[in-house]
C-alpha cells in the first residue's frame, strides 16, 4: 500500500482544496474509496486549527483517511536565524524590496524591522543568489544540518509516506515536512497557496513536481525560484471551480433583496486594504457625496468588504475606519469571513458576481472580479493626503505578481478623484467597457477555467503513486 502525506497548514490551502462541495478533498475521498487496498492518505494539520477544520474531514476519515494533528515549535537559535536570513534573500525582487525597505503597513517597520539591512539583502541576491548550485544544492543540504530539530520525524517513522503533497510550500510547517522528505528521499509534489508567494523570498526546498494555478505563476517559479519548466504543471485555481459553478448563482433581484437595498439598486463593491491603506475613508466619503449629488445615478449604493486580517490590531483598525459608515443608508458592510461557511461564501460570491463596479486595492480579488467580468478600478492615491512614497498606497504597484495585471489594462488605475469619478460613471453607464482587457486578464493570469482544477490535482497525486 502506498501512503500520501498531505499537510493543510494555512487558511488559503484549506480554502483552495478542502472547503467547497466538489473540492479536491471530496474528489480525493472518492478515489481513496475506489483504491482503498492500494493507497492511504494521511492529512497533517496544525493542532491549533483542529477545532476550526475537524468537521470538514469527517467524510475523509469515514473513507479510511487518517487525520493527525501536530503542534510544531520551531527553534530560533542564532545560527538558524542567520541561515534563514541568508537563503531568504537569495531572491530580491521588487516585491522583496517593498517588504525590506518600506513594509506592507505604513505605520510599522519594514519586514525584519531594519531598513538599513536592505543593501545587505540585495547584495546576497546579486552574488550568492546568482549561483544555481547554492540555490539548488547547498541551501537544502545546509538547511537539514543547521535545523537539527526534526518535528515530523516520528510521523514519517510511523506512516512511512511514499509521497508528500505540500499544499503551502511557502509556510514553515510545510517546509519542515519537505525537509524530512528530503532527508529520506521521499518524492514530493507541491503548490503555492497563493499567487503572490513565489516573488517574496527564496524557498529552501524544491518539490519534484510543482503545481501552479496559472502560467503566470509558473513563470514566477522559473524566474524567482529556479524551477525547470519540466517540473511545472498548470492546474488552475481550485477555488475557481466553486466560483464558476452556476448552480450557486442567484438572480440579481434576489441578491439586491438579501442586501436590503431597494429594488433596482446598483452598487459599488469596495474591497478594503485594511491596515495597509489607512486613508480609504476619504475615497468612500467622496463616492457617497457623489451619490448624494446624483453623479452616479439615483439608485447607487456601496457595499464595503473590509480586509479580514488574522491580527487583532488590523481588525481594530477596520472597526474604527468603517464605523462611521455603518449607519449610512447607502452603505452595506460585509464583515464576516466567508471561506469556511458555505452559505456565506455563496452570498459573497454573488455580491461579487452582480457588482456594477469592483473597487479593489491590490488583492487577489482582482482576479476573482475578472472571473465574473466585473469592471475593476484601483485607486493608487491616498485620498486627500500627500504621503511619501514609502507610506503611500502607490508602493503596492511595484509588486511583481501584479505586473501582468497592470499590463493587461483590465484594472483601471484612477490616479485622483477626477479620474475616479469619470471611471465610475463610464462603468456604471456601460459595464461591458474594457471587457476585452478583462478577457485578456482571464486568459493570461487566471489559469484554466474549466472547473476541473481539483480533479487534475487528484489525478496527478494518484498517478505519482
How many CB atoms neighbour CB 378 within 10 A? 25
Chain-centre distance for alpha carbon 256: 28
302 near 287, Cβ under 8 Å? Answer: yes
Which tens digits make up the pLDDT trace of 440-462?
999 999 999 999 999 999 999 99
Q: Where does 127-196 have alpha helices with state H?
A: 132-133, 139-146, 153-159, 172-184
- Residues with Cβ within 8 Å of 177's Cβ and at least 6 positions away in sequence, in order, are 5, 7, 44, 152, 164, 166
Judge if 2-74+149-241+450-464 and 247-445 fold alike in CATH terms. yes
pLDDT of 170 over the 80 cut: yes
Comparing C-alpha atoms, which of 229, 255, 235 is closest to residue 348?
255
**Angle 280-292/417-429 helices, nearest 10 degrees?**
50
247-445 CATH choice from 3.30.70.260, 3.40.50.2000, 3.30.420.240, 3.40.50.300: 3.40.50.2000
0.85 exceeded by the pTM?
A: yes
Averaged over 325-331, what is the pLDDT? 91
End-to-end CA distance of the chain: 10
d(CA 288, CA 271): 16
What is the model's pLDDT at position 362?
A: 79
The architecture (CATH level 2) of 2-74+149-241+450-464 comes to: 3-Layer(aba) Sandwich (3.40)
Which tens digits make up the pLDDT trace of 358-393?
998 778 889 999 999 999 999 999 899 888 888 888
335 near 329, Cβ under 8 Å? Answer: no
pLDDT of 311 over the 80 cut: no
Cα-based distances in Å from 173 to 99, 180, 214, 277, 375: 22, 11, 24, 30, 38
Q: Give me 288's grid cell.
A: 457617497
pLDDT of 233 over the 70 cut: yes
What is the model's pLDDT at position 49?
A: 82
Averaged over 167-184, what is the pLDDT? 96
d(CA 222, CA 231): 10
Q: Where are the domains of the chain?
A: 2-74+149-241+450-464, 75-147, 247-445
Which tens digits make up the pLDDT trace of 87-135?
999 999 999 998 888 877 776 667 666 788 899 999 999 999 999 999 9
What is the model's pLDDT at position 395?
A: 87
Q: Give me 318's grid cell.
A: 477596520
Question: Nearest-5° angle of CA 179, CA 180, CA 186?
Answer: 105
Least confident of 56-60, 173-177, 422-426: 56-60
d(CA 152, CA 308): 31
d(CA 358, CA 414): 13
Question: Nearest-5° angle of CA 46, CA 49, CA 51?
Answer: 135
Q: Give me 62's grid cell.
A: 469515514
Averaged over 34-43, what is the pLDDT? 91
- Using 50, 70 and 90 to split pLDDT, how confident is the model at 312? low
Phi first, then psi, for residue 276 (nearest 5°) are -70, -25
Which tens digits make up the pLDDT trace of 13-23?
999 999 999 99
Rg of the chain (C-alpha set):
23
Work out the percent of the chain whose per-residue pLDDT is above 70. 95
Amino acid at each position: 500500500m502506498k501512503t500520501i502525506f498531505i499537510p493543510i497548514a494555512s487558511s488559503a490551502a484549506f480554502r483552495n482544496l478542502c472547503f467547497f462541495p466538489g473540492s479536491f478533498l471530496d474528489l480525493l475521498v472518492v478515489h481513496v474509496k475506489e483504491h482503498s487496498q492500494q493507497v492511504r492518505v494521511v492529512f497533517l494539520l496544525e493542532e491549533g486549527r483542529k477545532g476550526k477544520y475537524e468537521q470538514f474531514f469527517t467524510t475523509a476519515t469515514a473513507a479510511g483517511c487518517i487525520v493527525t494533528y501536530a503542534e510544531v515549535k520551531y527553534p530560533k537559535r542564532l545560527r538558524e536565524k542567520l541561515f534563514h536570513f541568508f537563503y531568504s534573500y537569495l531572491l530580491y525582487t521588487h516585491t522583496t524590496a517593498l517588504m525590506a525597505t518600506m513594509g506592507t503597513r505604513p505605520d510599522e517597520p519594514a519586514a525584519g524591522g531594519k531598513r538599513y539591512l536592505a543593501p545587505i539583502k540585495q547584495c546576497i541576491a546579486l552574488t550568492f543568489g546568482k549561483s544555481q548550485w547554492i540555490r539548488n544544492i547547498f541551501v537544502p543540504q545546509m538547511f537539514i544540518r543547521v535545523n537539527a530539530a526534526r518535528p515530523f520525524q516520528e510521523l514519517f517513522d510511523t506512516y512511512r509516506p511514499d509521497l508528500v503533497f505540500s499544499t503551502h510550500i511557502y509556510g514553515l510547517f510545510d517546509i519542515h515536512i519537505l525537509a524530512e522528505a528530503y532527508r529520506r528521499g521521499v518524492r514530493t509534489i507541491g503548490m503555492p497557496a497563493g499567487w503572490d508567494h513565489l516573488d517574496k523570498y527564496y524557498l529552501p526546498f524544491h518539490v519534484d513536481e510543482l503545481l501552479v494555478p496559472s502560467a503566470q505563476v509558473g513563470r514566477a517559479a522559473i524566474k524567482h525560484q529556479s524551477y525547470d519548466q519540466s517540473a511545472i504543471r498548470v492546474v488552475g485555481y481550485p477555488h475557481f471551480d466553486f466560483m464558476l459553478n452556476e448552480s450557486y448563482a442567484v438572480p440579481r433581484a434576489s441578491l439586491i433583496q438579501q442586501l436590503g437595498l431597494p429594488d433596482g439598486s446598483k452598487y459599488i463593491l469596495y474591497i478594503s486594504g485594511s491596515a495597509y491603506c489607512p486613508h480609504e475613508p476619504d475615497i468612500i466619503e467622496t463616492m457617497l457625496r457623489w451619490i448624494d449629488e446624483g453623479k452616479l445615478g439615483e439608485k447607487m449604493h456601496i457595499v464595503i468588504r473590509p480586509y479580514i486580517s488574522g491580527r487583532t490590531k488590523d481588525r481594530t483598525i477596520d472597526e474604527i475606519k468603517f464605523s462611521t459608515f455603518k449607519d449610512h443608508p447607502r452603505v452595506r458592510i460585509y464583515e464576516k469571513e466567508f471561506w469556511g461557511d458555505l452559505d456565506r461564501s455563496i452570498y459573497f460570491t454573488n455580491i461579487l458576481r452582480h457588482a456594477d463596479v469592483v473597487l479593489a486595492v491590490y488583492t487577489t480579488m482582482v482576479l476573482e472580479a475578472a472571473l465574473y467580468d466585473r469592471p475593476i478600478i484601483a485607486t493608487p492615491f491616498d485620498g486627500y493626503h500627500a504621503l511619501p512614497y514609502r507610506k503611500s498606497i502607490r508602493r503596492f504597484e511595484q509588486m511583481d505578481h501584479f505586473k501582468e495585471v497592470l499590463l493587461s489594462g483590465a484594472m483601471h488605475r484612477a490616479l485622483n478623484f477626477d479620474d475616479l469619478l469619470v471611471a465610475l460613471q463610464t462603468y456604471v453607464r456601460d459595464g461591458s467597457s474594457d471587457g476585452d482587457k478583462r478577457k485578456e486578464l482571464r486568459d493570461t493570469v487566471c489559469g484554466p477555467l474549466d472547473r476541473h482544477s481539483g480533479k487534475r490535482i487528484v489525478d496527478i497525486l494518484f498517478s505519482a503513486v
